[in-house]
Amino acid sequence: MGTILILLLLFPILGAVIAGMVKKGTNVIAVIAGTGALLLTAALFLNLPPDLSFRTVPVQLQWLQDHLVDGLFGFQIDPLGLIMLLVVVVLGFLNIVYSTAYLSRGNKEHPTEEGRQRHHFWMLLFVASMIGVAMSPNLFQLYIFWEMTTLCSWALISHYRNEDSLKAGFKALLMTFSGGIFFAIGLVILFVSTGSFEFSAVSQLSPELKGWVFFFFLVAAWAKSAQVPFFTWLPDAMAAPTTVSMYLHAAAMVKAGVFLISRLAVANSDLAFGSGLLVGIMAVVTMLVALYLFFYQDDLKRLLAYSTIAHLGYVFFGIGLGIMGSTTGLMGGLMHIMNHGVGKGLLFLCVGAISYVSGSRSIKQLSGLAKTSPLIAVAFFTGMFAILGIPPFSGFWSKFYLLIGTLDVGGTVGILLLIPFLLEIIIAFAWFLHVGHKVFFGRVSTTASNAGKLPFAISFALVVMSVLTLVAPVVALFLVKLIFI
Amino acid sequence: MSLSMENLGLALFNLLLVILLSPLLEGIIRKLVAIVHSRIGPPLYQPYLDLLKLLGKEEIVSSNNFFFRYSAVLGFGAILLVALLSPIAAAPPLNAGGDIIVFIYMLSFSAVMIMLSGVTSESPYGVLGAAREMMMVLTVEPVIVIALIVAAVNADSLQFGAIIAHFQNNPFPLSMVIVGIVLFISIVAQLARLPFDIVEADQEIMEGPFVEQSGPKLALFKWMFYAKELIFAAVFVSIFIPWFHSEVFIVNFLYTLVKILVMLVVVGVVHVVNPRLRIDQAVRYFAVLIFITIIGLAFALAGS
Amino acid sequence: MNPIQLFIISTLLLVLGAIVTWILGNRRELTSKLSTVFFALSSIGVLSVVFTVFSSGTAQLNAPLIEVPGIDSGLLLRIDLLSALFLGIIALVSFMVALYAVRYMNLKIFADLSLRAFFPVLMIFFASVMYVVVVVDMFFFFIFWEIMTLASYFLVIFNKRDKDTLRAGFKYFLITHIATALMFIAVIIIYLQGGSFSFDALEQAMQSMSVSNPGLLHLALLFLFLAFATKAGILPMGDWLPDAYSSAPIPASSAFAGSMTKLGVYGVIRIFVDILPVSDFSQTWGIIIALMGTISIFVGTLTALVQEETKRLLSFHVIGQMGYIFLGVGMGVYFLNVQPVLAIVALSAGVFHLINNVCYKSCLFFNAGSVVWKTGTTNFNLVGGLHRVLPMTAVIAVIASLSISGVPPLSGFSSKWLIYQSSIRAAITNPLILGFGIIALFISIVTLASFVKFTSTLFYGKYADNNTKAKRKEVPLTMMIPQIVMALLSIIFGIVPILPLKYVHKSIASLLEADFFPPMQSIYGTDSLGGLMTNYGEGVFAVWNPLLLTLVGLFCILIAYAFYRSGSAPRRADTTWYCGEEHSDEEVRYRAHSFYLPFKKMFRIRIGKYEREGVYPSIGYPKITFGNNLFKRITDIDKWFYDPLVNRFMALMKRFSATHSGVPHLYLLWLIIGTVLAVVVLFLLAGHSGHL
């Protein structure tokens, strides 16, 4: 078990180093590393204690004995971490497969292979650091990997090295790092007052301090997860290659923020109602702001970026409901980490595929794509329905739990949260449907009529992801249920 | 069930009456019109002669279509069925076969046949006439429907037999007076008499739906109209003028006949002194009538 | 095999079919034929389930197939008599639609559209529709309901090239999505009271809510009603319906008309009769249901009258006919608490009308499809006189038209008769309901008018030669059979209404306690062949004996025929007479547009400058533009906060970097100044603390 975990962390790092050094075959190395991580995850699942005891007693392995604090470094396997781990590894694998084809001369938007090696290096490192985040047993190790993801994302967002992307990379670094400072402050206060970095240590704080520490962590998470008011770096980060955007949004980086708060919310059941309310209200505000900005977007990727902001709002919303007392709501939020990851990842892959075949991401220029690239259309609509919450696709399940949670909280708070939440659901539905119609149906536009063929790797990733939108909720439900037994 | 000897006899009687007597009533009205016009006019039996002549005349088939060929037969058949469903001097012979809703719908069935004969003739006049017929049905039918419903609400039954029996034994409420008057006015339209002979309007659209009808089919259509006159008059007088009822069938019958004659004379007078309305005028006119019947209905629901 | 297993297998067959036809999607002929086979097999399976259930009673699963963690919900199936009734309808319609689609979907106009977007979707659609009526768990009800919506959405936008189609699909999906969101909320409200999603738990939750929190229960019922009414096309929520139906390909439209819209009624009956306990609530909601039904009857049918496109006309009639059904059901729900005898008659009337409606409405859509097949258009103004090329279709169209208009002795009349007479009977209790009944009666004539237009312009009237280049050939047999079956059913159900009514009565009576409703014999005077004599306990109220009347009517027609041939008049074929003038065919055609102009004018609304014809309050598509307004500027945090902040920071840094000039002397200078400063600071600090 310990070997598997260490290998799981080291394999992508090793892959990154090799892929970054070799002269030829960087694609092959990257895919091998991704596959290796996938297989190791599978092995991990097979090796889980069959009595499901890990759900209550996390499997903890220490790998760097320290004199200061016992178990400062190590691994922790529990259902919540597994949700994150699955998203990270599976999406990472598909992302790498996809990027081998995407970063090529066949790509109509960026017909270049330059920087492929760089991309693979950072991407694999990204995967590794996210694995680290998912398996961290305490806040300290989480913080280290958290900042590693910041670094990776900075490098990846600046991938094309033009002015826009450099600026965007810098902005992302600045904003998430500023958030990271709050994390550090929170961490210091926590350690000074309790002498522990455990997730559950927050409960040991005095009520007043608990509120502040939670707030600091929350600010860090908001910055990381692009919530109001720190959301502006995310749309700009769209200057990155689509593979990067996909990973950034669906699995890594922004998910690290919500993961932190989920960890805290799950581990500390006695957080104040007010904290939950703050999380919930800010989540709803984020949803509405993001929703409002939908209407100004012409670039498909930017539209998806705002949608991601809103959907991370869903996760926060669920966590807020959980803190306010509704387990069902919390379940919904946690499930949404996976359900959203799959759906949004698929949408990004589709947008990447669109720009790959047609060279454009503009909603205005595209129409009638379903005629020329039916596979992308099917995948896009699947992803869209997953995001919009149409059963049986993934998003529906978490939304349903969230709605139950909202009404479960009930009272004035429940209704005040419910109405904007419903509005967001319906208007976002209308807008995405509109965009889907515009881009895929109707008369075939000139941009769309030039669409070329999709390489195998891209088609493969699209099909697998489409299937995953149906599978994800089952897995997510299973794992989430384990958290709360 | 309802096929007792008495009923069978009554059925035969109704059929014969409707088939044989109805042209005579038409003859009387024609005579009346002639008198008002200061003409001598045709003999009373002229309609019989017309029908007999037409039945033997050549039939010109301009459209090879089922409904063009047989709408007259179906329509006439339907009106005979209506005759069995309607009370003429007694409860209807098919009292146990259908109520007033069925009666109204069977009547509209004959109107549908008129329309079908019009639309299948392929002549624009025919289609135009059919459209007008439909519009007349649309505006006149509600009046009849509501009037009969008022009667039904008062009697708490939809069966003609029960309704007639109810008014023979109970006081005649105000609501019935209101709808009775309105119904009388609308019957002029149902019978396609001036000022409401809009469907045929021979000077305008050349007999409308019947423009392509000839020979026996035309005869049947004409006969249908005569029969309709009789039936309407009979239903009207037996429900809305129920007073002085006798237990003896033949007396009752003669009394009903007198009532019918009087009523048709009034219809004839209205017919002869009025010019034809345009269809839109008629439609608006009936909108007012419908409104009045609804007032009548309100009275009925209030219990008077 | 137990009926539930058989049912599952039959529906899985459809899913399998969907996969197979998806894989073989490019071979058009083959997929079409294969899909019919799958549909036939599943229909046979489901119909045998229906018969088993009707003969041996409710079939159900004892344990849920799937359990959802975290919430108390499981996929439980139960086929009771009501489910069986709807299953029977759905099975019949599904097979007919599939049969019709075989040739129809291979029309040239669809040649460039992939059938992958049709047959597999149709199969998923019908499979989900079937599950909707058998699940007894609200959560799964909801899921299947949404899958059905999704599938139907794809059927609506099948013709993706067309802008109007897309718009219709969008509108449809959006409106139904809002409705389902409301349903969602309602279901959760009740769930939180009862703690489980199963129907039994909902019933108990409603029971307790009706005492403890009636306001909330009303809200939940409102949301549920809105959701079902939206699906059923009840105005004003059914505004999507005319667009969606007329955009979908004909088999899909008739599938919708035959199954999906009817599920709205199923939902209403399930919730308001079965689950909602009989109480004041039934009374309130009964009136509301009936009222909404009447509004739909009135507005829908009057609007249908002015339509000039076949499918739109039929779609508006769907709305109108759903109104009749809702009127019947609403009256029934109202009387549950007042007068159970009347309740069951009205409910049966509504459901019976639903069955009839399925028959003739599908038939009419098929007729329209045959017209498309022949001419490629459905615009009334462009075609005419098609009876010459489609003689059989024309006759069937007349039968279906007369049936929908309620002309005796066809099926439409039988059910309408039941609705009318129960509403007249209701006058004693509630005059409002009589008003509904009278409107329904009046509109029935409007229906007739609009179908006179339908048949006369499409099939009769002047033959429009230039639009029908096709040869004189009827539609193929696979398109003919569904029409014939549906028309025959219309006739049979009309002449022997007791036949379907028996099952309807049985299934509705089974929803409540055994002795809640009086037995059929005492209400209709009979439970075998013969007429209906409704009796509400005070003697025979109304009579309708179609069998007797049909026989007598045939006899009367014989007499009429005897008269017709009595003079043995000779016949001569000749051309139509146009007053001897020379003319072209186009000149002598009476177009659909000209029909009923004076009548249409009566329904002209004018308020100030606003003027519109007709009673349908349709809203145009608003053009929303998103300007650079205040809110947008506020949400652009970059511009007013981060950018200035970062810029100022950068400027500051730049000033600092001015020190980094590269001249050694300056560095030395900085060093000295720094040292001095440090010393001074240290000195001051030390001075403060008193050391040194």
Please give the full DSSP string across A125-136, using - where no structure is assigned: HHHHHHHHHHH-
According to DSSP, residue C76 is labeled -
Alpha-carbon separation of residue C366 from A145, A264, B249, C254, C413 (angstroms): 65, 61, 53, 7, 21
Nearest C-alpha neighbor of B51 from the set B16, B27, B35: B27
In whole angstroms, give the CA distance from residue A346 to residue A242: 11
pLDDT band at B38 (very low <50, low <70, confident <90, very high): confident
Rounded to the nearest angstrom, the minimum Cα separation between C450 and chain B is: 9
CB atoms within 10 A of CB B116: 27
pLDDT of residue B2: 46
Chain A hits for C631, Cβ within 8 Å:
292
Whether residue B173 contacts residue B300, with contact meaning beta carbons closer than 8 Å, is answered with yes
Contact (CB<8Å) B131/C398: no
Measure in Å the smallest separation between the Cα of A285 and chain C Cα atoms: 11
CB contact at 8 A, C79 and C59: yes
Which residue on chain C is closest to B114 by alpha carbon?
C452
Mean pLDDT over residues A31-53, rounded? 85
In sequence order, the β-bridge partners of residue A64 are: A73
**Contacts for C690 with CB less than 8 Å, ≥ 6 apart:** none
Interchain proximity C188–A403, CB inside 8 Å = yes
Establish if C215 touches chain A: CB-CB under 8 angstroms: no
Taking alpha carbons only, the member of A220, A205, A355 closest to residue A268 is A205
Q: Identify the pLDDT of residue B197.
A: 66
Complex ipTM value? 0.90
The predicted-structure confidence for A131-151, as pLDDT tens digits, reads as follows: 989 888 888 888 989 988 988
In chain A, which residue's Cα lies nearest the Cα of C158?
A441
Please tell me the predicted confidence (pLDDT) of residue C398.
87
Residue C692: per-residue pLDDT:
45
**So what's the pLDDT on residue A39?**
92
Task: Select the residue from A234, A287, A400 to test the C interface by mutation, using most C Cβ atoms within 10 A.
Answer: A400
Q: Does C462 touch chain B (CB under 8 A)?
A: yes
- Which member of C448, C556, C589 has the closest CB to residue B77? C556
Short-list C100, C99, C74, C78, CA closest to C87: C78
Asked whether residue C49 is domain-assigned, the answer is no
Which band of pLDDT confidence, cut at 50, 70 and 90, is reported for residue B207?
A: low
Judge whether residue B1 has pLDDT over 50: no
Q: Which residue has the tokens 């009256």?
A: C331
DSSP secondary structure string, chain B? ----HHHHHHHHHHHHIIIIIHHHHHHHHHHHHHHHTT-----TTHHHHHHHHHHHS-EEE----HHHHHHHHHHHHHHHHHHHHS-SSSS-TTTTTB-HHHHHHHHHHHHHHHHHHHHTT--HHHHHHHHHHHHHHHHHHHHHHHHHHHHHHHHT-S-HHHHHHHHHHS---HHHHHHHHHHHHHHHHHTT-TT-TTTT-HHHHTTGGGTT--HHHHHHHHHHHHHHHHHHHHHHHHHHS--S--SSHHHHHHHHHHHHHHHHHHHHHHHHH-PPPPHHHHHHHHHHHHHHHHHHHHHHHHT-
Residue A283 pLDDT class (50, 70, 90 cuts) = very high
Locate the domains of chain A by residue range: 271-485
Beta bridge partners of C67: C74
* SS3 state at C2: coil
DSSP H or E run through A193: helix A163-194
Q: Do chains C and A touch (3 or more CB pairs under 8 A)?
A: yes
Q: Is residue C71 a contact partner of residue C49, using CB atoms and an 8 Å limit? A: no
Contact of C318 with C402, CB cutoff 8 Å: no
Is A394's pLDDT higher than 80?
A: yes
Lowest mean pLDDT among A327-336, B240-249, C237-246, C555-564: B240-249
Contact, B107 vs B137, CB < 8 A? no
Number of domains in chain B: 1
Q: What percent of chain B has pLDDT over 90?
A: 0
Distance from CA of A484 to the nearest CA of C (A): 9
Q: Select from C34, C646, C630, C596 the least CA-distant residue to C305.
A: C596
> Encoding tokens for residue C12?
């899985």
Please report which confidence band the pLDDT of residue B202 belongs to, taking 50, 70 and 90 as the band edges.
low
Query: What's the mean pLDDT in B132-154?
Result: 80
Q: How far apart are CA C126 and CA C91, in angstroms?
A: 8
How many angstroms away from the CA of C433 is the closest CA of chain A?
A: 36
- What local confidence, expressed as pLDDT, does residue C90 receive? 92
The stretch B43-58 carries a mean pLDDT of 84
Report the alpha-carbon distance of residue A183 to residue A206 in Å, rounded: 19
Q: Is the peptide bond before C409 cis (omega within 30 degrees of 0)?
A: yes
**Best residue in A232, A421, A479, A483 for a mutation probing chain C (most C CBs within 10 Å):** A232
The reported pLDDT for the residue numbered C613 is 63
Is C375 in a helix, a strand, or coil? helix
Residue C588 pLDDT: 59
pLDDT band for position A459 (cuts 50, 70, 90): very high
Closest CA–CA distance from residue C60 to any residue of chain A (Å): 24
Residue with the bigger pLDDT between A385 and C72: it is: A385
- Average the pLDDT over each of A242-251, B185-194, C5-14 and give the range with the smallest value: B185-194
Q: Cβ distance A343 to A393 under 8 Å?
A: yes
* Last residue of one domain, picked from the residues C515, C532, C549: C515
The answer to whether C594 contacts chain B (CB < 8 Å) is yes
- pTM of structure: 0.89
Is residue C431 domain-resident? Answer: yes
Q: Is residue C233 part of a domain?
A: no
A474 vs C: CB within 8 A = no
Can you give the pLDDT at residue C163? 83
Low-confidence ranges of chain C (pLDDT < 70): 461-472, 527-530, 577-628, 687-692
Whether C186 is covered by a domain: the verdict is no
Which domain covers residue C409, as residue numbers?
279-465+472-515
**Upstream peptide bond of A229 is cis (omega within 30 degrees of 0):** yes
In order of A24, B69, C542, the CA distances from A365 in angstroms are 37, 61, 66
Query: Which stretches of C376-475 are DSSP H helices?
Result: 391-404, 411-426, 431-458
Classify residue C584 by its DSSP letter. -
Judged by DSSP in three states, C309 sits in strand
- Hey, which chains touch B, using 3+ CB pairs under 8 Å? C
CB burial of A259-293 (b: ≥16 within 10 Å; e: otherwise) equals bbbbbbbbbbeebeeebbbbbbbbbbebbbbbbbb
Whether chain C has a CB inside 8 Å of the CB on B44: the answer is no
Residue B157: which of C353, C597, C536, C644 has the closest Cα?
C536
Question: In the numeric block, which tokens belong to residue A462?
Answer: 């699209």
